[in-house]
Structure 1
Amino acid sequence: MSRDIVLSNERLSAEISYPGEKYNGSRFDWSGFITQVTLDGKHTFCVKESLETGKGSGGCGLCGEFGIREPVGYDETPVGEYFPKIGVGLLKRPDMEPYDFFRKYEVKPLDINVIIHKTSADLSAVMPIHNGYGYIYKKSISLCQNRLKITYLLENTGEKKISTTEYCHNFIGIDNNSIGSSYSLKLPCDIHPEGVSGEIIVKDKEISWPDSLSGEFYSQFKDFDCCGSSTWELYDSESEAGVKETDDFVPQKFALWGSKHVASPEAFVNIHIEPGEKQTWSREYEFL
């Protein structure tokens, strides 16, 4: 039976899966896999990536991923050998095909240490040097009133530079309400979508959806600098609840994915760390 880490204060509760229990795949960060957030004992925000058993890649709630397009060390790894997936462990390269984040790779998992307090959890892992790559990874999740903050620290202890990206997938469905005309996604600047698929409505700084939404939707947004501001807010007028994410970095890119039951705004952070150096970043979620 899987366990949950439960953080709580007077406004919020957050359920976090112990590393490797509810999720043990090769895509998402095993540390700090947040499966549910509840506001005032009433409003819930987290849903599964897919409602159909066996479909999707096992995502749920607020879960991160390193290297969706920039896998560390993959291209230099021979077939049958292992490359590092930050937050997961070592993945085995099965053939000469390009890396595919949706593919299931054999995993040698990280040993992730967990320290739990009433309103916070600290997770950490040390990746021994492998093919010149090594790191110390620390993540802290904390609650303060109606806010949940995730802070990250990645230290390069290896011999090679770490160059990749990280984002939080944010599988959100407020009170399990379907995505439609009651939802709106507000961004801090005029947005310029590219590669749009599915049914999304873009007007100035806001995205909405029709009630007739069917199938998946996806878009990336170019020129997403917004004068250094990185904030989005997803609101559902039916439940009169929403969530706002504020980051301390300018996104490398911003993307939006979803389907009828889920909307996933995604802000990507660029990671470039020389040997002996470290990088920190954070995301703060305000539940409204």
Structure 2
Amino acid sequence: MLKQILTVCLLLSCLQVVAQYPEARISNGEIEARLYLPDAKEGFYRGTRFDWAGVIPSLKYKGHEYFGEWYAKHDPKRHDAITGPVEAFDPIEYDSAAPGETFIKIGIGTVKKINNNPYRFNAPFELVNTGTWKVRKKADRIIFIHKLNDGKGYSYTYTKTVRLLKGKPELVLEHNLKNTGQKSINTSVFNHNFFVIDSQTTGSDFTVTLPFKIENKPTGKKLMDFSENKMTYLRDLKKGESTMEYPTGYSGDKVEDYDFRIENKKTGAGVRITADRALSKFMYWSVPTTLSPEPFIKVDADPGKEFNWAIKYQFYNTEK
């Protein structure tokens, strides 16, 4: 009897650990995904770098896993303790704010400036006002609505829908930013795309394909190779190693430049990423546990106006 009681207690303890953060699941019959929900007190991510909406710890298609925790230990307030195709907006009014005053991070809230140093995304900023969040769930999608008014002329309603397309192995991130304030919103947003594909080590089994011919060479770490429009690894990355690349060759104002593919030749997992807005900037980062194409989009909305954009992920199997 004692053994049974201990077993039950252990199971309940495990369940509590798994379910300690608010979450939801969606499916379209092709893809199954799990999402963490924004919550200022109990949320999986409570940092000040990334948009709190659309945190995906797991997305499965045809036996392949595309996301997951890529770091050793989780801290909800750490700037990069987050998973999935998460997005970060450039700060608004950071440069004009004095230390102790606030600036804005869309999808997060108002944040207190620490000092007059240039903005650093990993600084320990204090979150002052998280605004309000509403979450609406359907079988194949989750709609996140974030409203914020900073009391100084900036106000917005930001709606982000994470949707699985009917009958297709596709995920779409749909965004609407409505400027309800008195000041124009001018910023940029990028998707960090923390891919953890089938738990494979970042390295020679991966190929990243861009829609343009790469004009420059990799950095001097001798970890990657650029050939035509492809980025490959010379070997698997070791613990402590990382890449930070800035491939050039895109125009900065073409929608067609926002079109990337990642494939793993060992497992056959592939994903294509496209958007309906022009690629304004591109970077690429990786460590042994995750690889991240980082495409940027410019976001501009005058008072009373709206700005919309969508990012699509098409998942597939390659021929092995």
What do residues 259-284 of structure 1 show as CA deviations (whole Å, max 9, x unaligned)? 11111011100012211211100100
The question of whether the paired residues in 2 share the 8 Å contact of 1:197 and 1:219 is answered with no
Describe how 1:48-197 pairs up with structure 2 within 5 A.
Answer: 48-51=69-72, 57-67=80-90, 71-107=91-127, 108-144=129-165, 145-193=168-216, 196=219
Counterparts of 2:191 and 2:200, CA distance in 1: 21
Q: Whose helix fraction is larger, Structure 1's or Structure 2's?
A: 2
Instruction: Give yes or no for the alignment of 1:255 onto 2:283.
Output: yes
SS at match of 1:90: strand
1:13 is displaced (CA, Å) by 0.9
Q: Radius of gyration: which is bigger?
A: 2
1:213 is displaced (CA, Å) by 2.5
Q: Which runs of 4+ in 1 moved over 2 A?
A: 47-57, 192-198, 210-214, 225-228
Describe how 1:262-273 pairs up with structure 2 within 5 A.
Answer: 262-273=290-301
Instruction: Give yes or no for the alignment of 1:28 onto 2:46.
Output: no
1:110 is displaced (CA, Å) by 2.7
What do residues 208-239 of structure 1 show as CA deviations (whole Å, max 9, x unaligned)? 11224330101122341396412100000111
SS at match of 1:266: strand
Q: What is the one-letter code of the residue matched to 1:115?
A: R
**Structure 1 equivalent of residue 251 of structure 2:** 225
**Structure 2 equivalent of residue 17 of structure 1:** 36
**Structure 1 equivalent of residue 313 of structure 2:** 285
The question of whether the paired residues in 1 share the 8 Å contact of 2:55 and 2:84 is answered with yes
1:48 is displaced (CA, Å) by 2.9
Q: What is the one-letter code of the residue matched to 2:80?
A: S
How many pairs were matched up? 284
Relative contact order, higher structure (CA 8 A, sep 6+): 1
1:194 is displaced (CA, Å) by 6.8
Q: What is the one-letter code of the residue matched to 1:208?
A: T
User: Where does structure 1 lack aligned partners over 5 or more consecutive residues?
Assistant: none
The question of whether the paired residues in 2 share the 8 Å contact of 1:129 and 1:135 is answered with no
1:44 is displaced (CA, Å) by 0.4
Q: Whose strand fraction is larger, Structure 1's or Structure 2's?
A: 1
The question of whether the paired residues in 1 share the 8 Å contact of 2:174 and 2:309 is answered with yes
* Counterparts in 2 of 1:166 and 1:210: CA distance versus 1, 3 Å: same
What do residues 9-44 of structure 1 show as CA deviations (whole Å, max 9, x unaligned)? 21101111010311000111001212221113x110
The question of whether the paired residues in 1 share the 8 Å contact of 2:247 and 2:283 is answered with yes
1:133 is displaced (CA, Å) by 1.3
The question of whether the paired residues in 1 share the 8 Å contact of 2:70 and 2:196 is answered with no
* Counterparts in 2 of 1:209 and 1:187: CA distance versus 1, 3 Å: same
User: Where does structure 2 lack aligned partners over 5 or more consecutive residues?
Assistant: 1-19
* TM superposition score normalised by structure 1: 0.93
The question of whether the paired residues in 2 share the 8 Å contact of 1:77 and 1:83 is answered with yes
Counterparts of 1:28 and 1:47, CA distance in 2: 16
Describe how 1:232-251 pairs up with structure 2 within 5 A.
Answer: 232-251=260-279
* Counterparts in 2 of 1:191 and 1:26: CA distance versus 1, 3 Å: same
* Counterparts in 2 of 1:223 and 1:24: CA distance versus 1, 3 Å: same
**Structure 2 equivalent of residue 201 of structure 1:** 225
The question of whether the paired residues in 2 share the 8 Å contact of 1:48 and 1:60 is answered with yes
2:234 to 184, 193, 210: 210
